[in-house]
Amino acid sequence: MAYIQQSFSVKFEYRVFFTEKIFDPSNSTFADFLEAHAEEGIRKKLLFIIDDGVTAAHSYLQEQIEAYCQQLGNFELVQDIVVVPGGEAAKNDLQLFYWLINELEKYAIDRHSYVIGIGGGSVLDLVGYVAAVSHRGVKHIRIPTTVLSQNDSGVGVKNGINYHGKKNFLGSFAPPVAVFNDAYFLTTLHDRDWRSGMTEAVKVALIKDAGFFEWMEAQAVKLSMGDLPAMQQLIYRCAALHMAHIGGAGDPFESGSSRPLDFGHWSAHKLEQLTDFELRHGEAVSIGIALDSVYSFLLGWLAESELQRIITLLKQLRLPLYHPLLEIEDENPGVVAGLEEFREHLGGKLTISLLRTVGKGEEVHAIDTALLQKAVTMLREW
């Protein structure tokens, strides 16, 4: 038997910048990045795609972007700045996905161009996927505008949209060339989005960093009351932990069955779907964290005192612990149906992250439904 074999690796590198008022004329962070990637003789195009929630809260933003880009010597802003619906609706609309691809074709966006997404995690997931499949990969830049996207989804390597009611069924692993976290966008967030975005920080602290969890306990009142400096610290520490995991876990494109950063997510994804996405992602994850923490306690892993710390923190951050759709009934399995969907999404055997202690996660490959129902009952009583 004869065969030819080839093996190669591809290096990915990107930075997450932390700044404020990114398109203010006095702020050169974005311009400096672009100029560092300029090429002589090539005038690169910039296509901005913006979440309509952002343009509603920052009505001047489009004019500011146009004025800012006029000062760039080697880059050209295309004629139109594209505005799209925000929230999970952006990921549920297949026609919107195709329309954006047509926008890239209309403006002749090539692989020297940059597609810049500005918005919450759903819009960034959509824009990243559009860029990834156009010309087999157009460079994209993320400018996350919510707590959730600045500390978690916006700094990662995943893109995607929902399909047939399944979360992120279509997608890609395509890292951005850069991420710009602008704290000023956080000042106009709805209180619900401010709070729900903190769940990813709770999650990553629980499985990776007990010291970070203790810091959140100490800062809980400030965080829940909208203190921006405290939130900036939370976002930085959470983003750093996510970035370290992407580079240090050895499986950034999730070729295996393990995904520890999805602690609390198997039920959260199903809850989002069952509520027709009325629940914010962060709210569903908060419930998922509570559920898996109680389940870990019932397994005899997590100490009762630590479980109480977790529940107390979630309450102090004004995050939900329970939803009626958690209930498991013969004719309606509720979130249990999400276990198989979660396994299918990762491939291989079911792999769920639970807690041994605050700061240390551990994986299991089966869930006891009776024990899970007991955990749901405890949450309902709380």
Q: Kindly tell me the burial class for residue 254, based on how many C-beta atoms sit within 10 Å of its own C-beta (0-12, 13-18, 19 or more).
A: middle
Q: What is residue 333's predicted lDDT score, i.e. its pLDDT?
A: 67
Q: Which pLDDT does position 330 carry in this prediction?
A: 64
What pLDDT does residue 257 have? Answer: 43
CATH of domain 15-188: 3.40.50.1970
Structure confidence at residue 345 (pLDDT) = 61
For residue 38, which phi and psi values (nearest 5 degrees)? -75, 155
Residues 6+ apart with CB under 8 A from 190: none
Where along the chain do the CATH 3.40.50.1970 domains lie? 15-188
**Is 321 within 8 Å of 315 (Cβ atoms)?**
yes
Is 191-381 CATH 3.30.420.40? no
Answer whether 205's CB lies under 8 Å from 216's CB: yes
Rounded alpha-carbon distances, angstroms, from residue 274 to 15, 165, 269, 326, 334: 36, 9, 9, 10, 8
Q: Please name the residue ranges forming H helices in 72-155.
A: 89-92, 94-106, 121-133, 147-151
Q: Where in the sequence of the chain do the CATH 1.20.1090.10 domains occur?
A: 191-381
Q: Please give the Cα distance from 198 to 221 (Å, whole number).
A: 13
Q: Is 111 exposed, middle or buried (0-12, 13-18, 19+ CB in 10 A)?
A: exposed
Burial class (CB in 10 A: 0-12, 13-18, 19+), 324: exposed
Dist CA 57 CA 109 (whole Å) = 28
**Which secondary structure element, helix H or strand E, spans residue 344, and what is its range?**
helix 337-346
φ, ψ dihedrals at 170, nearest 5°: -105, 135
In the numeric block, the tokens 């629980």 are attached to: 206
Count how many residues are written for the chain.
382
Strand-pairing partners, residue 131, are none
Rounded Cα distance between 107 and 96, Å, is 17
What is the predicted pLDDT for the residue at 167? 82
Q: pTM for this structure?
A: 0.91
DSSP symbol at 39: B
Structure tokens at 307: 């479980």
| Concatenated DSSP letters of 43-96 | -EEEEEEEEHHHHHH-TTHHHHHHHHHTT-SSEEE-S--EEE--STHHHH-HHH
State the Cα–Cα distance between residues 115 and 141, nearest whole angstrom. 6
Q: Which tens digit of pLDDT belongs to each residue from 174-204? A: 999 999 999 999 999 999 999 999 999 999 9
d(CA 24, CA 286): 35
d(CA 154, CA 175): 10
pLDDT of the residue at 90: 92
Q: Which residues contact 257 (CB under 8 A, 6 or more apart)?
A: 346, 347, 348, 349, 351
Q: Which residues of the chain have pLDDT under 50?
A: 257-258
Query: CB–CB of 64/71 below 8 Å?
Result: no
Contacts of 295 (CB under 8 A, 6+ apart): 354, 367, 371, 372, 375
> Minimal CA–CA distance to 12: which of 175, 160, 139?
175
